Each structure stands twice: as C-alpha cells, then as structure tokens.
Amino acid sequence: MKGSITKKLVMTYSAVLGVFLAITVFLFNITARRYMENNIVKNLHAESAIIEELYLERVSAPADTDGENNIKETRKAIRRWFSDIKKLAGIGFSSDIALVLKTRDSKFGIFTSGDTQNDFRSISAEELSSQLRDEPYFFEIEGGETSFFSVSRPLPQGHGENQNLRAWIVAYSPVYELDHLVRDMNLKAAYSIGIALAAAAFLSWYLSVNITKPVKALKNYAERLAARDFKARVDIDTGDEIEALGQAMNKIAGDLNEYGLSQRRFLQNVTHELKTPVMSIRGYAEGLRDGVVDNQEKALDIMIGECGRLQRLVNEVLYLSKLETVEEFYSFRSETLNEVIHEVREKMQTIIDQSALTLQLRLDRNCSVDMDRDKLIQALLNLLSNAVRYAESTITVQTRVLGREVQIMIWNDGTGMSDQDLKQVFERFYKGKKGSTGLGMTITRAIVEKHKGSITAGNHPEGGAVFELSFPLSQ
C-alpha cells in the first residue's frame, strides 16, 4: 500500500484548493492593479485640471523673459502657487506637481516643490519635453530608480504678456506606491492562502477520517469474509453509498453462509442417499458370498434395482450441477409455448391413463418464449410427474398471457402440501410423502430461473397443490 486514503484525500483537497486560490489571487492581482492604475490616471487628469485653474489665477507669464524683475516676480508667484498646492494636499490631493516652461529659444525650465520626489528632479529637460503635447497626455517616465505615472496639461500659449513662453503642468505619482500596495496585497493574500490551506488540510483530514473509518471497517469485514467467516456482519450508519455497500456485503455474507450450509446439507444428503442402496447391495453381496441367501435370483434383482437407483441419483446430481453452473449447457431460441405443453401432455399421457387420472388443458392465446426446449420440457415433466403422484382424479394445466409475460399454473386435486412441504419443496433431497430422489423440484427451479422466470408453490383454493411459473415473452 503506497499511502492511506486519508493522506491522499488531504493532499488532493489541499492541492485543488491551493491551485484554485493561486489562480484567484493571480487574477485578482491583475484586475486590482489595472483598476488602481486607471484610478491613478483619472486622478492625475482631474487634479491636473484643478491645478491648471489655480495656476492661471495665481501666476502670470512675465512680459519680458530677459527682465530680472519680471523673472523674480514670476518665481514668487510660482512659489505661492506651490504653497497653495501643498494646502490642497491636506484635503486629499495625492499628486505631485511640476511646472515646465519653454522659452523662445527652446530652453526648458522645470519647477517642483521643495519636498517633492528627488528622483523626478533627475529627469532631464529633453526627456521630459518629448512627452509634452498640445493636449492633456498621460505617460510613464523614469527618473533615477523610480517610475512615475504622469499627466501633462498645456497652459494657454503666452499666458500673461509674453507670447513666446510655453508652459505645461505635469501631475505625477510614483509607481512604487502602487507597487507597495500590490506587494502588501500579495503578502496578505499569501497569509490568507496559508491559513486557507491549513484550514482545508484540517477539514479534509476530518472529512477523510469520517470517510475512511467505514471504508476501513468494510476492509476488515472483507478480510473476515475471505477467511470464510460468513456469520460476521458489519454495521455502517453513514446514510450514503458506503452504507448501501455494507448492506450489500452483509447480504453477500448471508448468501455465502446459506450456500455453505446448503452445500454441507447437500453432501450429507448425498451421503445418506448413496449409503442406503450401497449398504443394501453390500448386504446381499456378502450373503451371496457366504451362501446364506436362499433366493439368489431375488437378491440379484434387488441388487440390480439398487444399482439403478444409484445410477439415477448420480445422473440427477450431475444434471443439476450442469444446470446450475454450465452456461453452455443451454441453447435458447424462440419457441411456441402451447406446442411445448401439448408435447409434454403426449409424453405423460400413458402414465396419466395408467393412473386413471384426467389431464385438463386451459390454454390462453398462443405466445412465444425464449427457451431451451428440451430443458423446459424436462421441468414441466417433473411438475406433471409430481402431480400424478398426489392427484386423486384431475390435473389441470392453465396458461395466462399478462402483458409481457406468460403464467403457467399446474395443480392437482390431491390433499395439498403441508407448511413444511411449502418451505422446503425446492431444497435438494427434500422428499414429500411420495417423493423419489428429492431432486426433481430442485432441477425444475434451476431450469425455470435460467429461463429468467420464477416458480412458486402453494395450495389451490379448490384444494390440492399448485405450482405457478412465470416467463417473459420473446421480444
């Protein structure tokens, strides 16, 4: 055994849950990141628009970029503007802001707040200018070791009195904040997966124990059955297929126990049935040897009769064994039932006449049955022979076609069967008051069951014993 069922179930449940959670977390990670990226872009656009309005209110472009005074005034206005931006951060603004100015001779100036991200300051003017457009534009740019989500928004050309000055507001946010958030989510997801796997392992262990406990009980029970302890029983109360399996195994054990008892009874009965004629033959043989038998011819006749009895008994035992075990012993084909019954009557007519009895046939419409003709005739002959021994005047054979099956009833007007007879009439070597070998009814039942039919014995309401047979009709 490579591993217990419990271990396999725990590993299977944990693996399935682990894969499911890993896929779920992966998809959630991608979805969440995209969602947050989209939110950041939206916020950058919205906040840059607000900052643009603030800039247009606070800052005027210098009339002459070469004038020292105008430049100083512009720088003061920009500092006041950045100061206002810091105040906005206190009410929920999350973006950092840069102001990019382009002069007439294509020189760029970048203004950022004093405490902004240092890595953004490391971005060259040329690299940043390549991302500037005449309309709001989102881009991702690297400064130092940091990547930034950025939105540039152009200011009206020549804002103020200088028509040669271009300006852009750039709202940006470092990507590592998003990466930190994603890493934090992944860490929490890893903790959650670990806890879920531990819970799954415990739950699957608990469930597997409940599952394997009855399975182990069935295994132990099967080992007892293999040791031929057919009296043992297993008690499974799970309310599912395992309980049904336990009940089926109990039934199998009961059948095997009954079969074993029947085999022992069979051997005992065979021994008894063989012993009687053998002892008779031996007694007469010894008498003939010792010269103590006066009528030797009568003794020889008795010995011959007992030998014939032995031969019939052995032949019937062998025939019954073939009926019950050899499938090839049967040859089925569709035959007309009424023709078979008429043939049986012809075979029995002489015996019936000699017994001064009357055989009545009450046959329904003709129908076909899949049968081994010779063996079904043998079964009907056995039933009629039994009826002849017990009937007082009349034997009746009646057929009825009911739906997809046909019923055959054979009864006699004798005294009927006792309760003991009804219980044991189909057992091997059970003999009634006028029985022969005790195998006739057993052979009959075996033949009927091989024809997918059924046979029952009872007492007819009008008196006498009745046997009822049922067979499916041919398709």
Task: Please give the backbone phi and psi of residue 322, each rounded to the nearest 5 degrees, phi first.
Answer: -65, -40
Quote the pLDDT of residue 337.
93
The stretch 6-12 carries a mean pLDDT of 72
Quote the pLDDT of residue 424.
79
CB neighbours of 267 closer than 8 A, spacing ≥ 6? Answer: none
Quote the pLDDT of residue 368.
92
In Å, how far are 52, 66, 82, 200, 232 from 72, measured between CA atoms? 21, 11, 15, 69, 106
131 or 318, higher pLDDT: 131
Instruction: Report long-range pairs for 152-160 (Cβ below 8 Å, ≥24 apart).
Output: 152/48, 152/100, 153/48, 153/49, 153/52, 155/52, 155/55, 155/56, 156/56, 158/61, 159/56, 159/59, 159/60, 159/61, 160/59, 160/60, 160/61, 160/62, 160/63
Q: Which CATH architecture has domain 330-472?
A: 2-Layer Sandwich (3.30)
- List % helix, strand, coil for the chain (3-state, nearest 5): 55, 15, 25
Q: What percent of the chain has pLDDT over 90?
A: 13
> Is 160 a residue whose pLDDT tops 60?
no
- Domain extents in the chain: 5-182, 241-325, 330-472
Q: What's the alpha-carbon Rg for the chain, to the nearest Å?
A: 52
> Is 242 a residue whose pLDDT tops 70?
yes
The stretch 245-249 carries a mean pLDDT of 88
> Is 134 a residue whose pLDDT tops 80?
yes
Least confident of 24-28, 231-235, 262-266: 262-266
Which amino acid, 159? H
Quote the pLDDT of residue 59.
62
Mean pLDDT over the full length of the chain: 80
pLDDT digits (tens, 9 = 90+) for 109-121: 777 765 545 567 7
In Å, how far are 8, 11, 82 from 4, measured between CA atoms? 6, 11, 71
181 or 355, higher pLDDT: 355
Confidence band of 63 (pLDDT split at 50, 70, 90): very low
CA angle (33, 37, 42) in 5-degree steps: 150
> Is 294 a residue whose pLDDT tops 70?
yes
The stretch 296-311 carries a mean pLDDT of 83
Instruction: Name 166's bridge partners.
Output: 102
The CB density around residue 58, as the number of other CB atoms within 10 Å, is: 16
Separation of alpha carbons 55 and 214, rounded Å: 79
Least confident of 39-48, 65-74, 444-453: 65-74
CB of 63 closer than 8 Å to CB of 160: yes
Least confident of 238-247, 248-257, 344-353: 238-247
What's the CATH code, domain 5-182? 3.30.450
This model's pTM is above 0.85? no
Confidence band of 64 (pLDDT split at 50, 70, 90): very low
351 or 90, higher pLDDT: 351
pLDDT digits (tens, 9 = 90+) for 351-394: 888 889 999 999 999 899 999 898 899 889 989 988 888 888 99
What's the CATH code, domain 241-325? 1.10.287.130
Separation of alpha carbons 236 and 217, rounded Å: 8
The CB density around residue 406, as the number of other CB atoms within 10 Å, is: 22
> Is 234 a residue whose pLDDT tops 80?
yes
Separation of alpha carbons 309 and 302, rounded Å: 10
94 or 458, higher pLDDT: 458
Dihedral over Cα of 389, 390, 394, 395: its sign:
negative
Quote the pLDDT of residue 394.
92
Which amino acid, 164? N
Quote the pLDDT of residue 74.
63
Least confident of 189-203, 338-352, 396-410: 189-203
> How far does CA 329 lie from the centroid of its chain?
39
Which uninterrupted H or E stretch holds 55? helix 5-58
Confidence band of 1 (pLDDT split at 50, 70, 90): very low
- Count Cβ atoms within 10 A of the Cβ of residue 241 and give its class: 0-12 exposed, 13-18 middle, 19 or more buried: exposed
Q: Are strands 146-154 and 137-143 parallel, antiparallel or unpaired?
A: antiparallel
394 or 331, higher pLDDT: 394
CA dihedral 379, 383, 384, 386 (to 10 degrees): 130
> Is 65 a residue whose pLDDT tops 50?
no
The CB density around residue 304, as the number of other CB atoms within 10 Å, is: 11
Question: Which residue, among 69, 161, 58, 67, has the nearest Cα to 111 in the 3D structure?
Answer: 58
> Is 3 a residue whose pLDDT tops 70?
no
Least confident of 72-76, 120-124, 152-156, 470-474: 72-76
